[in-house]
Amino acid sequence: MIEAKDIVKRFGGICAVDRVSAEIRDGSVFGLIGSNGAGKSTFLRMAAGILKPDSGRVTVENEDVFENTAQKSRIFYISDEQYFFPNSTPAAMRDYYKKIYAKFDGKRFESLVKSFGLDINRKINTFSKGMKKQVSIICGISANTDYILCDETFDGLDPVMRQAVKSLFAAEMQDRGLTPVIASHSLRELEDICDHIGLLHRGGIILSKDLDDLKLGIHKLQCVFSEPKTKEDFLELDVLSFEQRGSFYTITAKGERSEVEEKICAMKPVFSELLPLSLEEIFISETEVCGYDVQKLLF
């Protein structure tokens, strides 16, 4: 497990990460959400042992990761800004990483390069942005590390390739217990893959919860009533949002599913239905309670 405890990182007068605490549990997918400048990249670099926190600790299995070769060898970091050696090829990067990571699988690397339709001997500086991201992902998977930290990894990939990478991560999690940490500015990128979500804003963490817990505690209802209703008629519910269009009502409420259904049924609607919420809707509801407008933060 990677654990951050009250970590702070400043660059001059700018506080990039401000007292952030988070737990990244083994075998799960941790999604780190935040707008540009929220502190995602700085957090990942500290988690990878590249940067040292000004205060607080980042540990892997209770050992500080910074300047800890044994623990850093368990982590592969994919930066948002791709960097490769001048005039290098995928084959050259394979040979380089084989010297860095003891478990690097050269045959797996070659197989993935072929599957992705890349030329192993072509200079990487002639690749497109998306192709360069693919090379980094292939290097990360082939390194056989316990953790892979991805900074905006899906940015630049086409929809088919995004799904292919998500499927690859899922297979690695099942086969060898890989733990991906994926930072993104888009909730939609992570909705179908993450187990746990952390929301960063201005260097601080607003929310950190298991996705299942978020979904279980918030419900979206669509109802039709024969007589007009106002928000005050739903005081029995913990209403987060209320919208009316004629006799049709859309309500987002917190609580146990059975209790919410029971209270709505007691109001004798002509029609009622509980619908699954998107990750975006869940975050809007949760962050509005904290006094934030997630749409302004992330979109």
Give tens-digit pLDDT for 144-158.
999 999 998 888 888
**Could you give the C-alpha distances from 151 to 52, 116, 209, in angstroms and in order?**
18, 20, 20
pLDDT tens figures, 90-141: 999 999 999 999 999 999 999 999 999 999 999 999 999 999 999 999 999 9
Q: How confident is the model at residue 293 (pLDDT cuts 50, 70, 90)?
A: low
pTM of the predicted model, to two decimals?
0.81
Q: What's the whole-number average pLDDT of the chain?
A: 89
CA distance 41 to 32: 10
* 3-class secondary structure, 86: coil
Amino acid at 18: D
Q: How confident is the model at residue 277 (pLDDT cuts 50, 70, 90)?
A: confident
> Residue 272: pLDDT above 90?
yes
pLDDT tens figures, 16-65: 999 999 999 999 999 998 877 889 999 999 999 999 999 999 999 999 99
Residue 182 has a pLDDT of: 94
Query: Which distant-in-sequence residues (6+ apart) come within 8 Å of 251 by Cβ?
Result: 220, 221, 222, 223, 234, 237, 239, 241, 242, 243
pLDDT tens figures, 65-85: 999 999 999 999 999 888 899
Q: 154 with 189: CB under 8 angstroms?
A: yes
Tokens of 120: 């192993």
Strand ranges for the chain from DSSP E: 2-11, 14-24, 30-33, 55-60, 63-64, 75-78, 147-151, 179-184, 196-201, 204-210, 218-224, 238-245, 248-254, 271-275
Q: For helices 159-176 and 129-142, what crossing angle results, to 10°? A: 10
CA distance 199 to 117: 35
Q: Which domains does the chain have, with CATH numbers?
A: 2-202 (3.40.50.300), 213-298 (3.30.70)
pLDDT tens figures, 149-207: 999 888 888 889 999 999 999 999 999 999 999 998 777 778 778 889 888 877 788 77
* 3-class secondary structure, 174: helix
